[in-house]
Amino acid sequence: MKSARITLKDVSEQCGYTVNTVSRALRDDIRLPESTRILIQEKAREMGYIRNSMASSLRSGRSHIVAVIVNDLHNQHFSDLLNRMDRELRKADYNLMILCMQLDDSLAEKLIHTAISLSVDGILYFPNFDQKPYIEHMLRNHVPFVLLDRRVNGIEADIVRCDDEQGGYLAGQHLLALGHRRFLFLSGVEKSSSQLDRYGGFLRALREAGISEESVRTIPGETVEAALAGNSIGNFLDPVDYTAVVCFRDEVAYPVIFALRERGMTVPQDISVISFDHLRAENPTRPALTSIYTEGNIAGIGVKMLLERIDDPSLPPRNIILPVQIYEEGTTAPPPVQA
């Protein structure tokens, strides 16, 4: 019994046409008679022939595959962006390959090597701010890439992200305008430029209002992520020495609201909650949550930039920072009078 994969030659022998004619028919070359194309295509399907994409890419110089390197598939924000990127890439006749670090930064270099070794046409990469050596590796290998959602210190490259510093500033201004003066800030991981920028913007709003940083109780992002995984996010809510909670992302905010309600507190009458990412934009069935994000399409813009970079590697680096806004959905209010 034959164990090797079915080849063009096998289809050729079954059809009685040359290998070249079979190849053209499977590419749907309209210069061949339609009857010939249909006959060969049906025979190939019947035999279970699968096109050798690697061989085709060697001939054409294009694999029509784009790799996305992402930190965490459990993070719904990333999943939403991946869905959008897949839709945009399919319109351009590209397939998406997902490589996930599973929150393990040590895998980043290995996954970049994997993508390059598989001759992908380009890479869409969600970096941490300290990953300059990895980005430089992609530059040295002349692989087209776009950085998404975050910045990297000391790197000039194509990047599209939202204005996280302004987002943090808006969150601070919004809560201060409502009358809040004591806060709990549940951070993101420290290697994320989004965390640094959001927290920095929030503190900027407080400084401008003459409010001390001591009014903010901050929980480190690594601690928050561990608690989220262990379903123990409520452990950070005591003591209730604050009137508003600022969450680095929506997927932290939702269990926070649930835990507050378990403690007999009402959102926003007793405690206000504000967050980032606005996941309801992609999934309106999620509970209402006041959240900050951009109206711009990071996924669509990132794909467009990458396809342009693939077509023209000589383009100068482009740094696109999208403005943000507050989506007010009823989880923030003035603090209770007794506060």
In this predicted structure, the answer to whether residue 61 has a pLDDT above a threshold of 70 is no
Cα separations in angstroms, 92 against 88, 158, 159: 7, 19, 20
pTM of the model: 0.82
pLDDT, residue 4, reads 66
Q: What is the side-by-side order of every strand in the sheet holding 272-276?
A: 216-219, 183-186, 244-247, 272-276, 291-294, 324-327
- Over residues 21-47, the mean pLDDT reads 86
- State mean pLDDT over 317-335: 97
Q: How far apart are CA 269 and CA 305, in angstroms?
A: 44
Per residue in 85-107, pLDDT (tens digit) is 999 999 998 999 999 988 787 88
The predicted-structure confidence for 164-206, as pLDDT tens digits, reads as follows 999 999 999 999 999 999 999 999 988 899 999 999 999 999 9
- Domains of the chain by start residue, with CATH: 8-51 (no CATH), 64-162+296-322 (3.40.50.2300), 164-294 (3.40.50.2300)
pLDDT band at 52 (very low <50, low <70, confident <90, very high): low
Report in angstroms the alpha-carbon separations of 156 from 73, 141, 145, 161, 306: 27, 16, 12, 14, 15
Tell me the CA distances in angstroms from 338 to 43, 167, 176, 183, 243, one per residue in order: 79, 29, 17, 16, 11
Task: Evaluate if residue 54 carries a pLDDT over 70.
Answer: no
Residue 172 near residue 204 (C-beta atoms within 8 A) = yes
Angle at 108 between CA 189 and CA 155, to 5 degrees: 80
Q: Average pLDDT, whole number, for the chain?
A: 90
Residues in the chain: 339
